[in-house]
Structure 1
Amino acid sequence: MKRIFGILFYLAFTFTGFSQSYFEDGLSSEWHKGRRAELRKLMSPNSVAVFFNNPVKNRTNDVDFIYHPNTNFFYLTGFREPNAVLVIFSEIREVNGRSSDELIFLQNRDPRAEMWNGKRLGIEGMMSELGFEDAMLNSEFGTKSGINLEDFDKILTFSLSENIEESSVNQPLIQMVNEFKVASAYPNKQDEVSAQVYKMIKNSDLKTSDKVVQMLKRYERQYPDFMEDPLISSYMNAESPEKRMLVKDGIPEQKLDISALGEMMAELREIKTPEEIVLLKKAVKISAVGQVEVMKAAKIGMTEREIQGVHEFIYKRYGAEELGYPSIVGGGNNGCILHYIENNKRNLTDRLLLMDLGAEWRGYTADVTRTIPISGKFNEEEKAIYELVYQAQEAGIAISKPGTTFQQIDAAGRKIIDEGLANLGIIKRGASHSYFPHGTSHHIGLDVHDPGTSNPLQIGMVFTIEPGIYIPEGSDCDKKWWGIAVRIEDDILITEKGSVNLSGDAPRTVAGIEEMMRLPSVLEEWVLPEID
């Protein structure tokens, strides 16, 4: 009996959702090494960047969610295990008697843990498979590592959570984070917002201080306790730009910086390399095939969950390892919920079906949305709304080229939607409305909302164009429009010749969708037994 309880106790602390998954057709160790070299070019002299990989997150009881590495960490290393830290030096340094410009800390090999959760690389595997020349066990992080943070002019990292989920699996990470906070003099209260605000104030001058104050007032509305910081309140309440500069000069120089590293990574990641584009194209192609096959298979009476299952089956059939984000499948009024992921509506009727899904391929995620009539044919009102969204998207795609901004793409689509809604009598001409409540574009890559800067479009950027119109039941318009939700989202690559729609294989015109929905589905012969 003691032995049984011992096994159960062991399982309770080892049934975690992570295992290694390295692909021959993924990114190479040389590619990741090159990315680390590019980051060093952005770092200031005598600085150090510290990246912690994600913690393991509990799903319920003794079951954890499938592990997903921090995307910045993966971008720089290709490593997919928890309890790891990457340290990058701006220049080569002497560490433990070796000259190096980087060091990675990772968990040790453990035959018992690997039996349950998959092989760990260990130090030898890290060197042979991922190309690191200097690796240490995570138990050696801190004072044992030979790294003295006091020797650096700048310490770069991200905002570190004070609430990493307590578990035996996460204990090494918690220990490393705590040691780093002590060594870096990490303040008890530090977050990205305050760091950004201090940076704005520090970078302000006589000409820009008025704009900074306006920005701070917006922050104040969002964060009620914002003015409790005496330096921020003094800056905002200063009587003149000259007096604001006196306040600014009182900001002490800080060695620790939790905002600059995020800006550097956003700059690196917004331009995709040829290797990344290959992976993104595959993720998008798979996602487009999912949309096509669902168009063929969709029938009145199906459930949202069933539609979701068809998409995800196709992803897995092609070998995609994961979903890029929770699948959104909304029938009728559910489509008006922008991030609707319950997908529990049964017996889909003669209404529109909005499907926003993306496959993850070797870490890179697509983001493709199509809206179809579950009956196979748009009615008059649905067609009118759909055509507006399609025209708005076409306007955005038409101007997508090097030099265009996301704001210009958004404005082009909104102009068409606003005029169209007024022509249909849904809004008064020139009136504001909430029928198009989200932005039109965002970068995609390792994250579905990949980091980026405010730079205009450049060759190598991959992003979405996704206008939408959502008219929930109870809206202030004719009832015939209620419950209509349309979003069309495609993934766009900027090249020297202009833009390429990577998800164009999935029809997006009214005629193209209706024609596709008339074709037979490969799933029609797949009949499962009835279950009471």
Structure 2
Amino acid sequence: MKFKFTLLGLLLLTINSVLAQIPTDYLSADFHKNRREILRAKMPANSVALVFANSIRNRANDVEYVFHQDPNFYYLTGYREPNAVLVIFSDNQTNEKGETYNEVLYVQEKNQRAEMWTGKRLGIEGAKKELGFSQAFNGIDFINSKMDFKKFDNVFIEKFNDDHRNSNKDKADVFDLVKSFKMASGYNPDIFLSPTKKYVYNLIKTTPIEKRVELSAKIKTYLSYYPELQDDKFIADYLKTDMALSSKDIQENAMLALQPKTNLDIDFLPSNLATMRETKTPAELKLLTKAVRISAVGQIEMMKAMKPDMSETEIQGIHEFVYKKYGAEYEGYPSIVGAGNNGCILHYMENNKTKVDNDLVLMDLGAEYHGYTADVTRTVPANGKFSKEQKEIYDLVYKAQEAGIAEYVIGNSMSKPNQVAIKIINEGLFKLGIIKSVDEKHNYFPHGTSHHIGLDVHDPGNYNMFEENMVVTMEPGIYIPEGSKCDKKYWSIGVRIEDDILITKNGPKNLSEEAPRTTEAIEKMMAKKSVLDNFLLPSLD
């Protein structure tokens, strides 16, 4: 049989071949559209919301960091490129052609030369076809649109961190998009009160005038800790001893200060997106579960491969190799591999100890798969066997974790697992003689146990009650650094056990349970042969 290939046929074969090599399990355009619809339904009439993409970050000279999209922007669009802005309207708008629309995505422009260096861009047509936007334009069109933001009752944005670098190569990068918006909207950062200022203003508003002397003394103490309060006119006026205002006048002034005259709002989007993101849809759970299981397999393979002569960096590399083998694009956060005393540094990231010896090795790592990030920690003895003291501390942390996980029940307070863990750990530390009483204040367990995971390793949320389809970590720990006020036999022992727990109608489900957690199961796993046992590289000395 003979085949006759036309130019178009060859092109289609090439496209199909390329597409076959690209992951197909990303979130669908319908998922992102649904998220936008939910957000729009929360918006009051005559309002508009703007969400900007992340900017490109410079690593050094002309080298950039691998681009990572802003999680909220990705959540609402599925767009994975920089230099873009999403505009969502509460009400239908009409363009010059008489067409109605309620959202617009502005993307980075197609550029043949740029794409030759840094890869294909979706462009306008790609945004329409692949992301499902009926209205898509280039970023420069946003700048040239001269959109009248003053006509809206509310303009919802996220707080600008002003850390965007301006590129001379692109006239519509995020720097330019944000600058254009600020000019068009009359943005002034001074109109937004920090949480500290809001707190002090509310104190002034609610404190009776007869308590003014005591409150003034308290505020003066705050001034030494929070420099942002020192130049505040409202606070300065309140502190003046000759300010002869009634309690009613003070309250009215406070109300005015708390409600600046602007239609710009930086609270609506973070608050509502946090509520939306803290519970996961089935599509999200599929990706997040895969990220967690990849991370658990990384822990398993490292347990089998662990040797006392390994470096922290090598251990990190094996974890991350497993991630890449499964197609995880990134690590969800900088990998933490701390041996011995390094394991007592909560967010230790140097990972440069050249030999882990016979210490405990704390491995806190998580794969990011299609945007969703796991967070799994295991602590193992480098030589494969826990010493008596290591086992005592480890078993105490495990006991606290098991009791905490049992509290991951719909309707329970999210603070309950932490309270349970603190009680168990304090009782255990007292029994071991490490603290003098169960009520002694100490830093051996200095952090909380529970945070949401998702598009961020510390995903936003309201942290009130457990709800179905939340995924929350449970991570008690004990850290006894060298020089601690206890028996030296416990020095340099740092233990953290962290699992990712799905809240279900039938109780908690540990998504990372396949990575061993008990001392017995860890030792048994570490006794197994590793596929890397014979992976030997030539010496470079």
TM-score, with length taken from structure 2 = 0.88
Q: CA RMSD in A?
A: 2.6
- C-alpha distance 122-363 of structure 1, shift in aligned 2 (>3 A): same
Partners of 1:313 and 1:164 lie apart in 2 by: 32
Q: 2: CA distance between counterparts of 1:508 and 1:55? A: 40
Mapping of 1:443-522 within 5 angstroms? 443-522=452-531
Preserved contact between residue 107 and residue 124 of structure 2 (Cα < 8 Å): yes
CA contact (8 A) 1:83 1:170 kept: no
Equivalent runs, 1:36-435 vs 2, <5 Å:
36-97=36-97, 98-142=99-143, 144-145=144-145, 147-168=147-168, 171-172=171-172, 173-189=174-190, 194=194, 197-198=197-198, 223-232=226-235, 242=248, 244-251=250-257, 252-429=260-437, 430-435=439-444
Per the alignment, do residues 216 and 154 of structure 1 end up closer, same or farther by CA in structure 2, a change over 3 Å counting?
farther
SS in 1 for 2:307: coil
SS at match of 1:406: coil
Number of the residue aligned with 1:7: none
Shift of 1:23: 3.6
Instruction: Report the 3-state secondary structure (helix = DSSP H, G, I; strand = E; otherwise coil) of the residue aligned with 1:228.
Output: coil
The letter for the 2-side match of 1:415 is K
Superposed displacement of residue 190, structure 1: 5.9
2:153 corresponds to which letter in structure 1? D
**Residues of 2 paired with 1:116 and 1:201: CA distance?**
52
Q: What is the rounded CA distance, in whole Å, between the counterparts of 2:404 and 2:169 in structure 1?
A: 47
Match for residue 14 of structure 2? none
Q: Distance in 2 between matches of 1:99 and 1:348?
A: 64
Q: Is the 8 A contact 1:468 1:486 kept in 2?
A: yes
For each residue in 1:399-424, what CA deviation from the matched residue of structure 2 results, as whole angstroms up to 9, or x when unmatched? 11111222111111001111111111
- Please give the alpha-carbon distance, in whole angstroms, between the structure 2 residues aligned to 1:253 and 1:502: 48
CA contact (8 A) 1:195 1:258 kept: no
Aligned mates of 1:218, 1:447 — CA distance in 2 = 36
Q: Distance in 2 between matches of 1:244 and 1:418?
A: 47
Unaligned ranges ≥5, structure 1: 1-20
Q: Which residue of 2 aligns with 1:13?
A: none
Aligned CA distance change for structure 1 residues 253 and 64 (closer, same or farther; 3 Å): same
User: Post-superposition shift, 1:254?
Assistant: 2.3
Q: What is the DSSP-based 3-state SS (H/G/I as helix, E as strand, rest coil) of the residue aligned with 1:370?
A: strand
C-alpha contact 1:469 1:485 (8 A) present in aligned 2: yes
Q: Is the Cα–Cα contact under 8 Å of residues 362 and 494 in structure 2 kept in the other structure?
A: yes
What is the deviation of 1:183? 1.4
Deviation digits for residues 319-353 of structure 1, max 9, x if unmatched?
11111011100000001111111111012111100
CA drift of 1:170 comes to: 6.3
Larger radius of gyration: 2
AA at the equivalent of 1:509: T
| Structure 1 residue identity aligned to 2:234 | L
State the distance in 1 between where 2:512 and 2:410 align. Answer: 20
Please say if residues 296 and 515 of structure 2, whose CA atoms lie closer than 8 Å, have aligned partners that are also in contact: yes
> What amino acid maps onto 2:187 in structure 1?
Y
CA offsets 1:449-469 (integer angstroms, 9 cap, x no match): 001113211001011010111
Q: Report if aligned partners of 1:366, 1:448 keep a CA contact under 8 Å in 2.
A: yes
Query: CA contact under 8 A between 1:55 and 1:170: conserved in structure 2?
Result: no
Structure 2, unaligned stretches of length 5 or more?
1-20
Instruction: Provide the C-alpha distance between the structure 1 equivalents of 2:428 and 2:195, rounded to a whole number of angstroms.
Output: 43
Which stretch shifts more, 160-169 or 71-80?
160-169
Name the SS for the 2:105 alignment partner.
strand
Confirm or deny: 8 A CA contact 2:359 2:381 kept in the other structure: yes
How many residue pairs end up in the alignment? 508
- 8 Å CA contact 2:150–2:263 kept in 1: the answer is no
SS of alignment partner, residue 310 of structure 2: coil
**Residues 62 and 415 (structure 1 numbering): CA distance in 2 closer, same or farther, change over 3 Å?**
same
What's the counterpart of residue 445 of structure 2? 436
For the residue of structure 2 that corresponds to 1:81, the secondary structure is coil
Match of 2:11 in 1: none
The code of the aligned residue for 1:341 comes to M
Task: Spell out, residue by residue over 1:462-495, the C-alpha distance to the aligned partner (whole angstroms, 9 max, x if none).
Answer: 1101011111111111111110000000000001
Instruction: Tell me which residue corresponds to 1:10.
Output: none
SS at the partner of 1:250? helix
The verdict on how the C-alpha distance between 1:434 and 1:202 changes in structure 2, with shifts beyond 3 A counting, is: closer
Deviations 1:216-275 (A, max 9, x none): 899756522324222355678999975552223323442111122111111111011111
Contact kept in structure 1, 2:404 and 2:418, CA below 8 Å: yes
The percent identity for this pair of structures is 50
- 8 Å contact kept, 1:235–1:247: no
- Are the equivalent residues in 2 in contact too, given 1:106–1:135 (CA < 8 A)? yes
Q: Deviations over 1:150-179 (max 9, x none)?
A: 110011101113342233356522221111
Paired with 1:114 and 1:163, the residues of 2 have a C-alpha distance of 25
Q: Answer whether contact 2:204 2:250 (CA < 8 A) is retained.
A: no
1:461–1:216 Cα change, 3 Å: farther
The amino acid that maps onto 1:223 is Y
How far apart are the structure 2 equivalents of 1:232 and 1:375? Answer: 60
Amino acid at match of 2:252: L
Q: 1:383-438 deviations in whole A, cap 9, x for unaligned?
A: 11111111111111011111122211111100111111111111110110011111
Q: Relative to 1, partners in 2 of residues 1:462 and 1:475: Cα closer, same or farther, differing over 3 Å?
A: same
Distance 1:154 1:232 in 2: 28
- Paired residues of 1:464 and 1:491 also in contact (CA < 8 A): yes
Kept after mapping to 1: 8 A contact 2:47/2:156: yes
1:199 offset after TM fit, Å? 8.9
**Once the two structures are superposed, what CA deviation does each residue of 1:33-64 show, in whole Å capped at 9, x if it has no partner?**
00000111221221111111111011111110
Provide the rounded CA distance (Å) in 2 between the counterparts of 1:344 and 1:445: 29
Going from structure 1 to structure 2, the CA distance change for 1:382 and 1:411 (only over 3 Å counts) comes to same
Deviates more, 1:160-169 or 1:417-426: 160-169
Matched residue type, 1:137: N
The one-letter code matched in structure 1 to 2:141 is E
Structure 1 residues 195 and 391, CA, compared in 2 at 3 Å: closer, same or farther? Answer: closer
